[in-house]
Every structure is written in C-alpha cells, then in structure tokens.
C-alpha cells in the first residue's frame, strides 16, 4: 500500500468489517462493505453511515470584508445567515474551479469552510493567498465527519440527540452536545436523501461511528455507493465532472455564482458569458443496462462531440446514466447520442437533471 | 462432466462435445455487483481466447473470452434482465453460453479445477 496514504480514525473499523479499501484523494477509504448496490438501496430506503473524515475543514475568524474573505468565493459569505450554509466555488483567475465547497456561518465573525479531500492543500493555499487579515486555520486533522443519510436518518438522529435535531431545515445546522463534546449537525449531504453531516472532534468520531451502528436501521456505506447516489441526483464530483479547466458556466452551475459581488475569476466568467461557452455539461440516459464511464467518447451522427465525465448503472432507473461535456448546440433535451469506447457502443438521449427525482432530501 | 478454466477466469464445463461457458466465482466476486452481461449472438463462431461477450459491474467493464473454439448454440437470456444471477451463481445458473466445441484438444490449453485453485493462490 502507498505509504503516502492517510487513514481516517475509522480505518480500523472498516478493516474489521472486511471493507474493500482503495485510495481516494490521498486517503485510504472504504469503497464497499457488503456491495455497492445493496448499500445504495439501503441508503435510499433506510439510513446509511459514511466515513467522510477525509474531507477538509478550515476556520476563518475575523472581519469578512476587511480580511478579504468576502471576495474569495463565487458567493457572498457575509450574507449567509447564522446557522446556515452555502454551496459554491473557489475559482482561479481564468474562472476554472479550484474546488466546490460549503461555507458554514458559525458566528458573526466566524465561518467553517468544508472542502474536498484531494484539493484541501491547494484550497488552503489559494484562500490564504487571497486573505488580507483575520485568522485562517486548517482543522482537518482535529475534525471527524460522519454522514448519516437516508429517509430514516431523522428518527435515528432524534432518538440519539434529541428533538431539536428534527427541526433543522435543509442547509441549516445546529450545535449539539454529542458524547460530551460540542458537535455540528448539518442538514446537508451528497445522496439526494434526507440526511445529516456531523462534525465532531476526531478523537470522538470512532465512538460516534459505533453508536450509530448499534441502531439496526443504520448500516455503513462506502464511497462506491456514494458515487452512484450522487450521480443519480446529478451532483458534480470534483476531479471528474469539474476541475480547474472547467468553469461553472460550462458545468451548468451558474446559479451558485453571484455576479453582483466581486470574486476571483469574475472577469473571466463575464468574458466567457459574452463569447459563449465552447462546451456544456449534459446529462444523458442510456437505452439499456450498459454503464457509460469516465473518458468514454460522446458521438453525434458519427462524429465525436465530447466525452463522458461520470457514468454508472442507476439501480433506481434500471439503466445507464451519465454526465459529460459536448458542443452547446447539441445540449438540448432529447438529442440522440452514441457513447463509445473501444468495442463498446451504446445509444443514449440527453435528459434533464436530476435523473432520480423521488429522494427524501427535502422531507 | 469436467470443468476447465482460463487465466482470464472463464470456465467451461464439457459434456458430449458441448461446452457451457461462464465466468468463475472468483471473477464475479472481484467484479462486484454485476449490472450488465453482453451475450454472444446465437450461431456465432468463436475462437479460443477470442472475445465471446462482455460483462459490466458498478466498478468495471471487461470482456469475456471464449475458453474453447466453436459455434454458439444457446445463450442464457435470463442474464439480460437479471445479470445479478452471475453474482449469485457464477459457476452454475450464471452460465452465459453453450458452445459446440470444434476441437476438444484445445482443452489442454486450459487449467483443471486444481490448477485453477493453485493459480488463484498465486495471484
């Protein structure tokens, strides 16, 4: 095994459960326990527990405007109400996405920034380079993160942590005492189901993992199931669907960009808006059970017009689904495409996102 | 009936000149949840170690190679709607095709059960 890989505090539990482990974003992570489809199905119908300790957490404390934080992201930080979180981007000067992230408004002068694992070091450097004041710290190592996701997750949470958890609306969070320490319980996730992300001191996270698994409605799920779940609801995966070469305009994520404020990359995006984008994200459904996969070619009338960035067999739809980038003039709903790779060829049709619409996320 | 294996983890069970073909339990386990099986066409003539079909799981896509040369005389259509049968019973109900074996001497290019078990241990 690669000596560079980091292990989460839960790693021993994964091994004890005989999980299939693989490197992800520089971490040794569980891909599956009993099987990707069984874990996917459990999350859509019960409650699944994910070890997400690999993700990065940073704290900024200070004056958002004087400290420069207000201009760092594609959205305004100072207008996030206390106890709420907001999704958006950290861009480079060319408008390319350095990372997609969520900012939690903890206090009048304090936010927590939650970023992807693989990008955490470069995110930290990029943000720090743009700040003019305030304190900025990386708390990843001290912070554990578990996601409990699925239609039954609210019952499980309320029984363990009290009635106040039941009233957290989507994209809001509260502070709760869990196992004797202050933890953040946020109504967010990456599955399209009702669910919570829990941030707790890394030395308590293993105990919390065990506590959740004592409930028979809860089973662990790996990153394999997580990828199927997120793609069914059309969430982008950093490094596959979006990266530094991709702007939010091409990726159909303009609604997370606030052009009424300043941010790094804004000039480039405004120019691109005027010129028009050269490629655009599309979602497509395959006519059959074959899976499109990352890097497969997208063809239209025999010509290659783009490539697949994410693809999977959707258990909910019973067919292959995918996301890719193609020429904008072909991106309209209903366009027939052919997905190709070596000997593999499958017919597909451009469709709307999300693929799967009946999740409990806003329940 | 005798069973033989390829290094690519296909098996063939031979009886009266007919070979039933599938992938090994080891291969099915390694692939994880199988979501799609591409079966050969009826009547297709396949060559030993040539492409017979393909199989996809949530994790990966791979070709299936013919353990023996011959003509495809039967395919397991149940796999088209329920490919998970391969996970449940890779070396029995999860068979993929029957091949009319053109040349039984090709079987010497394959591994016996015992040889295959040793081969798996060596991987």
Q: How far is A325 from chain B (nearest CA, A)?
A: 22
CB atoms within 10 A of CB A254: 14
CB within 8 Å: A288 and B35: no
Largest CA distance in chain A: 62
Residues in B closer than 8 angstroms to A313, CB to CB, are 35-36, 56, 58
Model pLDDT for residues A280-312, shown as the tens digit of each residue: 999 999 999 999 999 999 999 999 999 999 999
Per-residue pLDDT of A327-338, as tens digits, reads 999 999 999 999
Assess whether pLDDT exceeds 50 at residue A1.
Answer: no
pLDDT confidence tier of residue A363, bands split at 50, 70 and 90: confident
Distance from CA of B32 to the nearest CA of A (A): 7
User: How confident is the model over B52-90, as pLDDT tens digits?
Assistant: 999 999 989 999 999 999 999 999 999 999 999 999 999
Of the CA atoms within 13 Å of residue B76, those in its CB half-sphere come to 26
Could A290 and B58 be called an inter-chain contact, meaning their C-beta atoms sit closer than 8 Å?
A: no
Min Cα distance A249 → chain B (Å) is 30
Which 3 state secondary structure label does DSSP give A17?
Answer: coil
- In DSSP notation, A56-107 reads EEEEEES-TTTTTGGGTBSS-STTSPTTBEEEEEEE-TTS-EEEEEEEEEEE
Residues A118 and A121: their CA atoms lie apart, in Å, by 8
Cβ contact, residue pair B56, A224, below 8 Å? no
Q: Which of A43, A289, A321 to mutate to test the interface with B (most CBs of B within 10 A)?
A: A289
**Per residue in A5-53, pLDDT tens?**
999 999 999 999 999 999 999 999 999 999 999 999 999 999 999 999 9
Q: What are the tens digits of pLDDT across the range B97-117?
A: 999 999 999 999 999 999 999
Optimal mutation site among A22, A30, A34, A35, interface B, most CBs of chain B within 10 A: A35
ipTM over 0.90: no
In chain A the domains, ranked by start, together with CATH numbers, are: 11-54+141-232 (3.30.1360.120), 56-138 (3.30.70.1400), 278-351 (2.40.30.110)
Output the pLDDT for position A4: 84
Quick one: average pLDDT of A206-220?
Answer: 98
Domain extents for chain B? 2-104
Q: How confident is the model at residue A3 (pLDDT cuts 50, 70, 90)?
A: low
A64-73 pLDDT per residue, tens: 999 999 999 9
Closest CA to A348 of A311, B53, B34: A311
Is the pLDDT confidence value at A2 over 70? Answer: no
Of A224, A288, A290, the CB nearest to B58: A224
Q: How confident is residue B24, by pLDDT bands cut at 50, 70 and 90?
A: very high
Across the range A91-109, mean pLDDT stands at 98
Q: A224 and B54: CB-CB below 8 Å?
A: no
Using 50, 70 and 90 to split pLDDT, how confident is the model at B1?
confident
pLDDT for the residue numbered A184: 98
Are A313 and B59 inside 8 Å of each other by CB?
A: no
CA distance A172 to A184: 10
Residues in A closer than 8 angstroms to B85, CB to CB, are none
**Element spanning A248, H or E:** none
- Condensed to tens digits (0 to 9), the pLDDT of residues A223-240 reads 999 999 999 999 999 999
Q: CATH number of the domain at B2-104, please? A: 2.40.50.100
Residues 6+ apart with CB under 8 A from B101: B14, B17, B18, B19, B68, B69, B70
- Kindly state whether B35 is in contact with chain A, defined as any CB-CB distance less than 8 angstroms: yes
* Token pair for A232: 């069914």
């Amino acid at each position: 095994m690669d000596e560079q890989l980091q292990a989460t505090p839960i790693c021993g539990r994964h091994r004890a459960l005989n999980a299939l482990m693989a490197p992800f974003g520089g971490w040794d992570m569980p891909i599956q326990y009993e099987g990707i489809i069984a874990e996917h199905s459990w999350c859509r119908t019960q409650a699944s527990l994910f070890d997400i300790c690999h993700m990065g957490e940073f704290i900024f404390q200070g004056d958002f405007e004087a400290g420069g934080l207000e201009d760092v992201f594609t959205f305004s930080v100072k207008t996030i109400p206390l106890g709420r979180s907001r999704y958006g981007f950290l861009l480079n000067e060319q408008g390319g996405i350095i990372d997609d992230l969520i900012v939690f408004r903890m206090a009048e002068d304090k936010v927590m920034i939650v970023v992807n694992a693989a990008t955490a070091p470069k995110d930290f450097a990029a943000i720090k380079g743009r700040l003019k004041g305030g304190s900025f710290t990386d708390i990843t190592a001290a912070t554990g993160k578990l996601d409990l996701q699925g239609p039954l997750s609210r019952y499980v949470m309320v029984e363990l942590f009290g009635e106040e958890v039941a009233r957290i609306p989507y994209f809001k969070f509260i502070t709760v005492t869990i196992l004797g320490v202050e933890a953040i319980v946020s109504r967010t996730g990456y599955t399209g189901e009702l669910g919570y992300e829990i941030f707790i001191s890394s030395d308590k996270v293993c105990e919390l993992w065990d506590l959740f698994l004592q409930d028979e409605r809860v089973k662990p799920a790996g990153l394999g199931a997580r990828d199927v779940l997120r793609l069914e609801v059309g969430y982008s995966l950093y490094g596959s669907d979006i990266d530094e070469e991709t702007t939010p305009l091409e990726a159909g994520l303009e609604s997370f960009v606030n052009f009424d404020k300043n941010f790094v990359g804004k000039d480039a995006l405004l120019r691109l808006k005027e010129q028009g984008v050269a490629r655009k994200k599309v979602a497509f459904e395959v006519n059959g059970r074959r899976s499109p996969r990352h890097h497969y070619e997208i063809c239209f009338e025999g010509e290659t017009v783009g490539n697949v960035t994410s693809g999977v067999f959707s258990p909910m739809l019973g067919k292959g689904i995918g996301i890719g980038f193609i020429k904008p003039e072909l991106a309209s709903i209903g366009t027939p495409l052919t997905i190709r790779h070596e000997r593999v060829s499958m017919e597909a049709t451009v469709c709307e996102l999300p693929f799967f619409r009946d999740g409990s996320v806003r329940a | 009936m005798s069973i033989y294996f390829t290094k690519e983890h296909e098996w063939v069970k031979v009886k009266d000149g007919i070979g039933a073909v599938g992938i090994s339990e080891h291969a099915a386990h390694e692939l994880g949840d199988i979501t799609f099986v591409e079966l050969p066409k009826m009547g297709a003539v396949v060559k030993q170690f040539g492409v017979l079909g393909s199989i996809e799981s949530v994790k990966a896509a791979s070709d299936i190679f013919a353990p023996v040369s011959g003509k495809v005389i039967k395919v397991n259509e149940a796999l088209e709607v329920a490919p998970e049968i391969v996970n449940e019973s890779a070396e029995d109900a999860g068979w993929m095709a029957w091949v009319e074996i053109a040349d039984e001497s090709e079987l010497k290019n394959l591994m016996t059960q015992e040889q295959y078990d040793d081969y798996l241990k060596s991987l």
